[in-house]
Chains A and B, each alone.
Chain A
Amino acid sequence: MNTATINASPITGNNAATTPSAPGERLWNIVDTVGAWSLALVWIAPLLFALWAAFHTSNAALALDWRAPLILQNFRDAWQSAPWLRYFFNTFVLVSLILIGQFTLCTLAGFAFARFQFVGKNLLFVLVLLQLFVLPEILIVENYAMVTRLGMFDTPLGMAVPYMASAFGIFLLRQAFMQIPRELEEAARIEGCGWFGVLWRVYVPAAKPVYLAYALVSVATHWNNFLWPLIVTNSPMTRPLTVGLSLFGAPESGVNISIISAATLVAIAPLMIGFLVFQRQFIQAFLRAGIR
């Protein structure tokens, strides 16, 4: 599995459909279609149910009364019972901070690993890759202590900082930079570019698709992240959507299924709409970022 083959066959490729249909083929085609559609229906059913429940009274939703009238009251109730705008804003700030930090740090580190020979390079590289296995989530206790020590408890920066130096991003950008032809760099040097000029004018633009893929994966991951923000936040002023949603859904707060569904839909709407509109890009991004 290498990048060349991935890039050569985008997800839209249709190479399964090149063979002419034989008699037995048609039967298999029906089996495939029925199987695929049934599984797809089962898979999407929980979301469809939530969508349906959000527009009905909880009594109708629990009784599965298909003739019940559509209502919008659940959305009104859900919206008024928590500072959702604040949560959205916090999530947005969190995701942006992480992305800016990751782009900056991983670009510099990836460039160092791709283009410079220095003492201890291989050892450092192994140390960095170690973080692929030692995820920040596992070290919550000490990371919490560290964030507190740095005076970042209950701040957006405190939520973002453990994820900024991402081994995954460093590795991804190193790979991208290593594939850029040296000639491009040499041409830039002849034009009088320094190392940073080369990085900014040659490497970063040439790796644009990788940045886009990385950005989509990073945004999707951190938009949905829960455990670490839960630990580091303490007030509605910093809480992201996921933490807000978890408090909202707590059984103690006694909300009903329709309101919960409405709140859940509101909370997931931006990322979901983004995903449905830019599906292909999202899927490509997960592939590009994951497979290398």
Chain B
Amino acid sequence: MNQATSHVLPTNPAERRLHNLFGWGLLTPSLILLTLFAFFPMLATLWASFFSRGTARRPSVFNGLDNYRDLVADPAFWQVVGNNLLYAGVTVPVSIALALGMALWANARIGGRGLVRTAFFTPTMLPMIAAANLWLFFYTPGLGLLDHITALFGIGPTNWLGQPGTALWSVMAVTIWKESGFFMIFYLAALQAIPPDLREAARIEGAGRWAYTRRVVLPLLMPTTLFVTINALINSVRLIDHLFILTKGGPDNASKLILYWIWEMAFAYLDQSGAAVMTVMVLAALGLIAALQFLFFDRRIHYR
């Protein structure tokens, strides 16, 4: 929050009144919508999480923390949370590492650089649903492209999406394919902001290509990495569209992620309180990420 560039507090009372009037007046439309679709829903979710699941015959009653207790006692909860942690733990670092590699290459002196960049970035512009539609057929047992490839190595058909051991990994592959190019863009910009003299200086000092990358480039990319990591973490909760096409969370919850589970509880099983409890937990986790970022990381990175 950079107060220096906005002007000093008006001293004259009439002007101060004007500022209050205009400030609040201009914000009112946004505040109304933010209240309707962010603040109120957050509080309503918290409130709903303390009530039992209502049915036609049994209205919902206040039952304190029972819902939380039930949820924590549900093995599916731990599985879904575990899945999401694994999903984040794999897709976030892998897509960031790939994005960095892509950016370094897309910034190197190579022929057809524009085409290479386009190839990396194009999946980002697809709807996740379209990406899932395409990948669905790569995973088709026996007939899909993947099995054609594995057959070359003498490996028989694999039911990639249909068995617990591979379903989540198959979903992750699509996510990584879709996300890496997006993060590449931020690295590419950061790389191009590095002054060329640094490379010259490193060369004169006798630093090789690897030393230059590790000692000069990577440290300079740290703010970008933080920014991208936060984005990737939020996306790891949010990106579930492909589940609707690829696995629907199955088999046996093996590929179910938290937001998909919330959707399923609320709209397929009509368990509003279960969905509310899970949402509260997600909000707590996101709040934690936000707090960590505000407290510990340099907030100038993007809230300059």
Interface size on A, residues (CB 8 A): 118
Q: A114-B6, A146-B37 are in contact. Are A16 and B129 (CB under 8 A)?
A: no
In Å, the complex CA distance between A43 and B106 comes to 13
Kindly state whether residue B245 has any CB partner on chain A within 8 Å. Answer: yes
**Structural contact, B138 and A46, CB atoms closer than 8 A:** yes
**Of the candidates B122, B137, B199, which one forms a contact with A19 in the assembled complex, judged by CB atoms under 8 Å apart?**
B199
**Of the candidates A118, A135, A137, A179, which one forms a contact with B19 in the assembled complex, judged by CB atoms under 8 Å apart?**
A118
Q: A165-B37, A226-B241, A275-B122 are in contact. Are A108 and B31 (CB under 8 A)?
A: no
Using CB atoms, name the residue of chain B closest to A227: B241
Using CB atoms, name the residue of chain A closest to B181: A43
Kindly state whether residue B125 has any CB partner on chain A within 8 Å. Answer: yes
Using CB atoms, name the residue of chain B closest to A62: B143
User: 1/0 per position for A109-150, CB-CB distance to B under 8 A?
Assistant: 101111111110110110111111111111111111110001
Closest Cβ of chain A: how far from B147's Cβ, in Å? Answer: 10
Using CB atoms, name the residue of chain B closest to A124: B27
**Structural contact, B105 and A1, CB atoms closer than 8 A:** no
**Of the candidates A13, A39, A135, A246, which one forms a contact with B238 in the assembled complex, judged by CB atoms under 8 Å apart?**
A135
Q: A13-B192, A36-B105, A36-B110 are in contact. Are A138 and B237 (CB under 8 A)?
A: yes
Kindly state whether residue B75 has any CB partner on chain A within 8 Å. Answer: no
Contacts of A95 in B (CB 8 A): none
**Structural contact, B34 and A128, CB atoms closer than 8 A:** yes
Contacts of A133 in B (CB 8 A): 234, 286-287, 289-290
Kindly state whether residue A9 has any CB partner on chain B within 8 Å. Answer: yes
Interface size on B, residues (CB 8 A): 118
**Structural contact, B130 and A267, CB atoms closer than 8 A:** yes
User: 1/0 per position for B254-298, CB-CB distance to A under 8 A?
Assistant: 000001001100110000100110010011001101100000000
**Structural contact, B185 and A283, CB atoms closer than 8 A:** yes
Using CB atoms, name the residue of chain A closest to B145: A49
**Structural contact, B185 and A117, CB atoms closer than 8 A:** no
Contacts of B189 in A (CB 8 A): 6, 9, 11, 287, 291
A-B contact list, 30 entries, CB within 8 Å: A8-B193, A16-B196, A19-B196, A32-B109, A36-B106, A36-B108, A109-B29, A122-B1, A129-B303, A133-B289, A135-B234, A138-B279, A138-B283, A139-B279, A141-B279, A142-B42, A142-B45, A143-B37, A144-B266, A161-B37, A178-B5, A179-B5, A220-B125, A224-B126, A226-B128, A226-B244, A227-B241, A242-B127, A245-B129, A249-B245
Assuming A16-B192, A242-B127, A249-B136, what are 7 further A-B pairs, CB within 8 angstroms?
A46-B177, A116-B26, A117-B7, A226-B128, A260-B136, A282-B125, A291-B302
Please provide the 9 A-B residue pairs with the shortest distance between their CB atoms, ordered closest to farther: A118-B23, A142-B41, A36-B105, A165-B33, A40-B119, A112-B26, A224-B127, A116-B23, A162-B37
